[in-house]
Chain A
Amino acid sequence: MNMIQALNSAMDVLLDKNPDIVIFGEDTGYFGGVFRTTDGLQKKYGVDRVFDTPINEGAIAAMAIGMSAKGLKPIAEIQFADYIFPAFDQIVSEMSRIRYRSAGQFTTGCVVRAPWGGGIRGGQTHSMSPEAFFTHIPGVKVAIPSNPHDAKGMLIAAAEGNDPVIFFEPKRIYNGPFDGVPDAPLKSWAKHPKGEVPDGHYTVELGKADVTREGSACTVVTYGTLVHVAEAAAEKSSIDAEIIDLRTLTPYDIETIAASVNKTGRVVVAHEAPRTSGFGAELAAQIQEECFYALEAPIYRLTGWDTPYPHAHEWAYFPIQSRFIRALETVTEAV
């Protein structure tokens, strides 16, 4: 399966298993979503389970909150992560805090899905990686899968949990992994081991990172599309990097990160989002606290620039393979 099929399969499994699951968003119903992630689900489960909403992200989030209070399990879709901001108040002030402010009397176990990240010539409003806005909110979890297998298992885990989860889907790798070379031919998930996705129910626990490549020269902590760019950079550069796919950003898997850094002594943290106050800053700070005596070089932050996401100069912005190789070289050469 590709990632779209895997997400579709996850929602199919969830709808089939639990009558309280409802799925909605802009174009998610009859049409099956602008990325086809909900294709066929309305036909199979009916319009009251999978339906279209007005174009109002705040309303979509509020609806999810209200339905959660009634005991439903909503999976809401925001068409692009770039358009989640009208829902920001409902997420920050409400969804994240309802359990806390009501001392557990009301909960909001819902999922907000949104296609995320760049690398698709999306320009300013179809490329953003706004995860750091959400990792700063106590009370919501943030998850970002990097492959079809995890996407399905994590989405099922998110929907079956009782906490709100912001679930970002790297749209650059919906159809196949991306090694960070802009003009390289498209690859398919068919040949990737994580493209193998069981048909039925399974979960990938939130809060657990995945070491996708073992190595000894340095640790790369990343997530989403850049997991694949990191892997390709390690192969290409012959730098024996250990690559950690974080998968869940809050709460992140500090144990896996610390074990790796204590072994390698060198770290690259990488994300597409801008550098200042990006999630990489949290990772670098925590690694520094946790592994200070093991560090043999400054922690390297490979990120998007502190600019809005550009259109024409996309590949000067995106942490492409060549920049990744330079990051690995810098961090392993540094004394």
Chain B
Amino acid sequence: MSTGQSRFHVPAPPFRPGDEPDFSSVLDLPKAGEAKRPDPLVKGWDTQELALGLVGVLDHNHQAVGEWNPKLSPEVLREGLSHMVLTRIYDERMLKLQRQGKMSFYMKSTGEEAVAVAGAMALRKDDMVFPSYRQQGVLFARGRNIVDMMCHCISNSRDNLKGRQLPVHYTWAEGNFFTISGNLGTQFPQAVGYAMGCAYKGEDTIAASWIGDGTTAEGDFHSALTLASTYRAPVILNVVNNQWAISTWQGIAVGDAPSFAAKGLGYGLASIRVDGMDFLAVHAATQWAAQRARKGGGATLIEMFAYRGDAHSTSDDPTKYRPKQEYAAWPLGDPIERLKQHLIGLGEWDEDRHAKLEEEMTHLVVRAYKEAESHGTLHDGPLSPTHTIFEDVYETDDWRLRRQRQDLGV
């Protein structure tokens, strides 16, 4: 608002520790079912309403409504629920193990399970994904072996990355899951390059990438959108707006723009804001964007409107910068609870089955950890043989690496 004079402006979140979070006064979100579903080959510029609105399918009664309803079978919905429950239980277990000192570091994805699981389920398994560090749900949806995931996190002798990477920096080429980097946003334009490669080879595979709201401020966000637009690359660029970049509120990144999705419009990209806590909406939007990409319509920017339900990482204490009860007050609820209630409403699920599922998944995770631990732990070993630190720097080791290995005596 103009005050007749330029004033230095620094955005601040609506609530800080001690405040009673009430989003009804700050978020004016469209209702589920309101958004129109255009043809996937619509011109990018003609998606303004989607970029400024919110694609939602599950309403407040947990019913699927509107044009975006993907009409998934109960089997698919139950599969999605199962992957999400597993993701959450896995996360909780890994957090505990980190607290027990069995792992150096961990990052949960609480609240964002639908973003990863529904996103992955709406893609084909031969589509390449370029995730950030908070889409572990993609791995579950693609059937990654849990023991292998844990072996990576505890850097033991079976870690497929030979102990070279921090926990949660998964890589799984067989599952078309690109190697996760600690450097934020770098994967976004890489995904576009990969997608250009798909188009170059005349294949109908596509690429999808995820970054967070904070990372949109990186230059690589601009690079990716520019490349995607210029070369009409078959790629899905997801911005997971979970409201928080460590301690920084999303307003620090989005500025005065009406949404992160709106930023895609200026590049001429199809741009959609989606209820990221709504499994059906995430699935539908991803499927729409995938169809657009495969049919030559080019890239889509999807803002997954979500909430980071837990700490940024095991090294973070969110009570220092946001109210404790903020997630409980989040108006879009919890993705697992919402899909669960939807299935119950359909008569395809019940509390007993849900409790049994949770029990099964807990058992699976506990058993997997026992097996993972049998291959060693970071602290007690066995790790990958020490000489492997010199391998894979280049295709073939040169004299420098050979001598350094001799120096270390391994």
Interface residues of A (CB under 8 A from B): 22, 48, 53-54, 56, 58-59, 62-67, 69-72, 86, 89-90, 93-94, 97-107, 138-139, 141, 161-163, 207, 251, 254-255
Contact = CB atoms under 8 A, between A and B. Distances in A.
B392 A66 contact: no
Contacts of B224: 59, 62
B395 interface: yes
Given A56-B226, A65-B190, A103-B392, 9 more contacts: A54-B227, A58-B189, A59-B189, A63-B189, A70-B128, A70-B201, A100-B393, A101-B179, A163-B395
Contacts of B201: 70-72
A59 B196 CA distance: 13
Contacts, number: 139
B7 interface: no
Contacts of A106: 171, 173, 178-179
The 7 A-B residue pairs whose C-beta atoms are closest, nearest first, are A66-B193, A70-B197, A62-B189, A251-B398, A59-B223, A105-B173, A63-B193
Contact of B183 (A22, A94, A254): A94
A54 to B, nearest CB: 5
B394 interface: yes
A66 B220 contact: no
Nearest to A48: B200
Contact of A99 (B130, B192, B196, B393): B393
B226 A54 contact: yes
B219 interface: yes
A66 B196 contact: yes
B304 interface: no
B186 interface: yes
A66 B200 contact: no
Contacts of A72: 197, 200-201
A62 B393 CA distance: 19
A132 B189 CA distance: 26
Given A58-B223, A251-B398, A90 B200 contact: no
Nearest to A54: B226
15 contacts: A58-B220, A67-B196, A69-B193, A70-B194, A70-B200, A93-B181, A93-B183, A94-B181, A94-B190, A101-B179, A103-B171, A104-B391, A105-B173, A106-B179, A254-B399
Contacts of B104: none
Interface stretch (B34-42, B86-94, B115-123, B158-166): B158-166
Contact of A102 (B171, B198, B391, B395): B171
Contacts of B62: none
B161 A89 contact: no
A31 to B, nearest CB: 17
A251 to B, nearest CB: 4
B230 interface: yes
B191 interface: yes
A103 B393 contact: no
B226 A90 contact: no
B400 A251 contact: yes
A64 B173 contact: no
B272 interface: no
A96 to B, nearest CB: 9
Contacts of B165: 101
A105 B207 CA distance: 17
A104 B191 contact: no
B263 interface: no
Contacts of A99: 392-395
B395 A59 contact: no
A161 B181 CA distance: 24
B195 interface: yes
B169 interface: yes
Given A58-B219, A69-B178, A251-B399, A64 B162 contact: no
B190 A62 contact: yes
A88 B24 CA distance: 44
Contacts of A62: 186, 188-190, 192-193, 220, 223-224, 227
Interface string B211-234: 000000001101110110010000
B179 A105 contact: yes
Contacts of B189: 58-59, 62-63, 66, 90
Nearest to A76: B193
Contact of B200 (A22, A89, A94): A22
Contacts of B194: 66-67, 69-70
A59 B399 CA distance: 33
Nearest to A86: B219
Contacts of A65: 190, 193
Contacts of B191: 66
A64 B200 CA distance: 13
Nearest to B389: A100
B227 to A, nearest CB: 5
Contacts of B391: 104
B164 A69 contact: no
A312 to B, nearest CB: 33
A157 to B, nearest CB: 13
A107 B395 contact: yes
Nearest to A138: B393
A58 B220 CA distance: 7
A59 to B, nearest CB: 4
Given A58-B189, A62-B220, A66-B189, A100 B392 contact: yes
Contacts of A103: 160-162, 164, 171, 392
A56 B190 contact: no
Contacts of A254: 399
Contacts of B190: 62-63, 65-66, 69, 94
B387 to A, nearest CB: 14
Contacts of B188: 62
A84 B200 CA distance: 26
Nearest to A57: B223
B125 to A, nearest CB: 16
B164 A100 contact: yes
Interface string B140-159: 00000000000000000000
